[in-house]
């Protein structure tokens, strides 16, 4: 029984974390349940990535999400659990906003410049040599005695030149390893536990029959003969003549 209670408790925790809402930079709730918070702790805000997928995103310490599939690769700015995006654990609202060539109400592809922590919005490096783009810096925030990597961001004043239509969330298939593997391992463990639990109950509930003396015995399926044997003609045993009868007389000449 304790095993079943533990499994129920774990499932409740998963449902609670999956129920956390992610918001766009404009404050609209994201209805796609594939986006989950990178930090699944109640009361702690964080960026959201596409984690509830066949192969989920990787949550990066910068607040960006990393995808590596045949449909979408590279870095992305997705959503945040803080509706106002004012939490220090969220990227700045101006990062890849519509005004800066991104998408304030969707996901936006991000291109690293390869020069420090500077990035450009979209699949364009034209801002790398100019004053556009933005920089990201990591910081550590202690949560319950555990140092967890969080995000702060500083946006440049010059907007990046990138069309906003190139990063629609509906066209992105993101992948990674942040949450998918732990959930898969947990699911496999719970499945195995459920199998063993069910097998144990099945053994205790095996059907039994009752013998003529009232004692219980194991129900045994009768063994049937092959049809090739059943088709053979019935053979009766030889019976010797009765010795009490008088001997028969043989005909003459025999």
What's the pLDDT score for residue 229?
A: 35
**pLDDT confidence band for 247 (50 / 70 / 90):** low
Comparing 74-83, 109-118, 175-184, the range with the smallest average pLDDT is 175-184
pTM higher than 0.75: no
Q: pLDDT (tens digit, 9 = 90+) per residue, 51-100? A: 998 889 999 989 999 998 666 789 999 999 999 999 999 999 999 999 98
The angle formed by the CA atoms of residues 140, 105 and 64, to the nearest 5 degrees, is 30
**C-beta atoms surrounding 43 within 10 Å:** 5
In 11-169, where do the E strands start and end? 35-37, 47-50, 58-59, 65-68, 73-77, 79-80, 108-112, 118-121, 134-143, 146-155
- Give the whole-number percent of the chain exceeding pLDDT 70: 45
Comparing 148-152, 155-159, 161-165, 239-243, the range with the smallest average pLDDT is 161-165
Q: How far apart are CA 176 and CA 26, in angstroms?
A: 26
What's the pLDDT score for residue 126?
A: 84
**pLDDT confidence band for 124 (50 / 70 / 90):** confident
**C-beta atoms surrounding 16 within 10 Å:** 11
Q: To the nearest whole number, what is the mean pLDDT of the chain?
A: 65
Helix locations, 48-104, DSSP H: none
Q: Is the pLDDT of residue 208 over 80?
A: no
What's the pLDDT score for residue 155?
A: 40
Which residues are CB-neighbours of 243 under 8 A, at least 6 positions away? none
CB 4 within 8 A of CB 61: no
Which residues are CB-neighbours of 30 under 8 A, at least 6 positions away? 21, 22, 23, 24, 48, 79
Q: What residue ranges do the domains of the chain occupy? A: 2-185
């Amino acid at each position: 029984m304790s095993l079943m209670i533990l499994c129920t408790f774990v499932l409740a925790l998963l449902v609670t974390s999956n129920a956390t809402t992610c918001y766009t930079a404009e404050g609209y709730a994201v209805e796609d349940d594939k986006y989950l918070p990178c930090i699944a702790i109640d009361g702690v805000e964080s960026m959201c990535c596409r984690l509830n997928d066949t192969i989920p995103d990787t949550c990066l310490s910068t607040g960006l999400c990393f995808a590596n599939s045949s449909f979408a690769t590279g870095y992305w700015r997705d959503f945040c659990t803080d509706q106002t995006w004012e939490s220090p654990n969220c990227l700045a609202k101006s990062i890849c906003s519509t005004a800066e060539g991104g998408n304030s109400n969707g996901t936006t592809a991000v291109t690293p410049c390869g020069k420090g922590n500077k990035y450009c919005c979209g699949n364009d490096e034209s801002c790398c040599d100019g004053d556009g783009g933005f920089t990201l810096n990591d910081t550590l925030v202690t949560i319950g005695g555990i140092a967890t990597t969080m995000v702060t961001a500083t946006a440049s004043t010059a907007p990046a030149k990138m069309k906003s239509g190139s990063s629609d969330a509906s066209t992105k298939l993101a992948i990674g390893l942040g949450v998918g593997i732990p959930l898969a391992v947990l699911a496999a463990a719970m499945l195995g536990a459920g199998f063993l639990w069910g097998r144990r109950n099945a053994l205790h509930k095996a059907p039994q029959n009752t013998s003529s003396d009232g004692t219980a015995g194991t129900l045994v399926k009768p063994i049937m003969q092959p049809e090739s044997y059943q088709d053979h003609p019935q053979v009766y045993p030889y019976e010797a003549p009765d010795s009490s009868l008088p001997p028969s007389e043989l005909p003459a000449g025999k």
